[in-house]
Amino acid sequence: MSNAQELIDRRRLRRKLGRWRVAAILCLAAAVVALALPLARTGRLDGLFRRDAGAIQTIARVSVEGIITEDDDLIELLGDLGEEKNTRAVILKIDSPGGTTVGGEAIYEAVRRLAEKKPVAAEVGTLAASAGYLIASGSDHIVARQTSIVGSIGTIFQYVDASQLLGNVGVSVNAIKSSPLKAEPSPFAPAPEEAKAMIQRMVLDSYEWFVGIVANRRPIDLAEVRRLADGSVFTGRQALQNRLVDAIGGEDETRRWLEGDRQVPKGLEIVEREPKREGYGLPFFARAKSALFGAFGLDPKTVVGTGASVSGGMMSLWRPPAGL
């Protein structure tokens, strides 16, 4: 009888110990989360999942993809890379049709600040057009594939005239304005000639700014840049002939230039670097969010980017012709 009682007591004790172990594990997990969240919100937790930046010299690769907008997180990353002693060079992997002119300008300036501190090369994937090419021109060396699409130097301002549609459904929109050009062009009425002239002046001024950057950054005189800057796009092979890019190839060609022309140590590992995004500052959360939206056909980056053109902002953007 005593043996049976001892067996029952042992089982009770094991159950109690099991519950305490579970409680201890839960408490430990809660403590880890409580410690991690403040670090994650400031972006410092990312560093815990990477090798110590001060231990190994590397080449950083930063992707510039999709519609370009004002991206403070990307600009912050480029600034940080400039201060990292053991990041010896940076490769910009560009695959973009362009985007807002202001977004391209801000990222271009961040690339130039970075290039003052260490070698920066641009590696074009499928496409580097308009603001995408503007950003590439901020680098010290541009490499493209033979069939990459490069160019579309220029700017565009698009607006909607829905006045006929509104008239068909019997809707009229009236406005009292402080001056004739206030809020012009309007989607509720055909644009007056004065408004078109105003927008044309803006577009041409931005075009001159873009052309001047390309002439300053590339080994092409201003007259030749103007000839190329008629909105045309070029293959990588054509872009090389027109000196819009420096070489044909991919990662191997980019590494050859870094190691040969800029004396970056040979054989350094190329490490992907990503901006700190929302989602507690962890790339994992940002990728999970993108995957979730993508499952429903809603890419958050695309939603933000197309919203810029809908709002009537000035764009430096290339769109493939219908049917391609």
**Catalytic residue list contains 182:** yes
In terms of DSSP bridges, do strands 58-68 and 315-317 run parallel, antiparallel, or are they unpaired?
Answer: unpaired
Question: How many helices (H) does the chain have, and how many strands (E)?
Answer: 11, 9
Rounded alpha-carbon distances, angstroms, from residue 314 to 42, 71, 103? 33, 16, 10
Report how far residue 162's alpha carbon sits from residue 142's, in angstroms, rounded to the nearest whole number.
42
CA distance from start to end of the chain: 86
Could you count the other beta carbons within 10 Å of the beta carbon of residue 17?
10
Report how far residue 46's alpha carbon sits from residue 57's, in angstroms, rounded to the nearest whole number.
18
Could you count the other beta carbons within 10 Å of the beta carbon of residue 141?
21
Q: Of residues 16, 177, 182, 266, which has the active-site annotation?
A: 182
Report how far residue 117's alpha carbon sits from residue 122's, in angstroms, rounded to the nearest whole number.
16
Burial of residue 317 (number of CB atoms within 10 Å: 0-12, 13-18, 19+): buried
Residue with tokens 């980056």, as numbered in its chain: 301
Q: Of residues 63, 96, 118, 130, which has the active-site annotation?
A: 130
Could you count the other beta carbons within 10 Å of the beta carbon of residue 75?
19
**Catalytic residue list contains 301:** no
By annotation, the residues acting in catalysis are: 130, 182
